[in-house]
Amino acid sequence: MKVLIVGGAGFIGSTIASACLDAGITPVILDSLVTGRREFTEGRVFYEGDIADGTLVDRVFTEHPDIDAVIQCAALIVVPDSVADPVGYYEANVAKSLDFVGHLLRNGCPRMIFSSSASIYRANDDLTVDEESAVEPLSPYARTKAACEAMFADIAATRPLRVLSLRYFNPIGADPKMRTGLQLPRPSHALGQMILAQEDGVPFRVTGTDYPTRDGSGIRDYVHVWDLAAAHVAALRAFDTLLAGATTSTAVNLGTGTGTTVRELLDAFNSVTDAPIASVDTVRRPGDVVGAYTRSDRARELLGWQPRYSVADGIRDSLRWAALRGEILAG
């Protein structure tokens, strides 16, 4: 099997590519390197460019006519940045995705797995969601994901394309073999900020302490990025069974089913590191929400997938990657 991974030089896309290689699936990478890293493409078939570049996409399919499916990971993903620059986010995440689907249709590629987000949901009062929960995205980033899902479903209903949207919860960790990891030197998510606080010798900032959770801090479903990657391999293998007959598009949550608050994440961080950090309480950031976690078994039922790694495993692998990042990534 051969799969085209667009955005395959980013954190999640490159980890999916590693999982594919380990499973005997050949990844072909297309990435603009706006946020991705060239180092993550070494030893892999790689095309540098934009998903909206029809000539380039045509070239990829001409040179690799045996591509069986596409995994669409190409997107901008930082919530506060989407609040500051919604035009840029809608252009990168929605407009270019529409162009890309046109290129897929022209090249006769009928299978697409879309990297979506659990941020599109409106959580229930107990802060859990499943695939039937109401869609109510609360940031421009989340709205771009919801818009893409709806757009892809509309297209799949009338054109030779089937789409599986995998709704990620909150990825942490790194490739356990340390081939790839988070490429950003100063990530904005909670675990990344904890690692930076430790490196800088400053307290970690708990952004928002008045949420309706058990300790007032936001809650997330932290899932190891290697588990996410394994889910994509499972999805590739189950694709034709999942999307058969009249079913042209569907969605599956990828989470652990356990909610972890920011304060609990900090406690877990301090339990696995030799240099615990303190914290200070601060106000919410633009676009921040209380969060949610999945209660769905659809991934297990449809993909035969369930997470293997714990939050502590994700923290340990994130710390291992942070220590190696400067050696692996130049600049």
Element (H, E) at 58: helix 54-63
The amino acid that residue 258 corresponds to is T
* Cα(193)–Cα(36) distance, integer angstroms: 20
Given 47, 141, 168, 309, which residue is catalytic? Answer: 141
Q: Check if the beta carbon of residue 193 is closer than 8 Å to that of residue 204.
A: yes
3-state SS, residue 115: strand
Longest dimension (CA), the chain: 57
Of 81, 115, 88, 162, the C-alpha closest to 10 is 115
Residue 141 annotated in active site:
yes
Query: How many C-beta atoms lie closer than 10 Å to residue 34's C-beta?
Result: 12
- Percent helix, percent strand, percent coil in the chain, to nearest 5: 40, 20, 40
**Residue 292, Cβ neighbours under 10 Å: how many?**
24
Query: What six digits make up the tokens of 105?
Result: 């249709």
CA–chain centroid gap for 205, Å, is: 24
**Active site (catalytic) residues:** 141
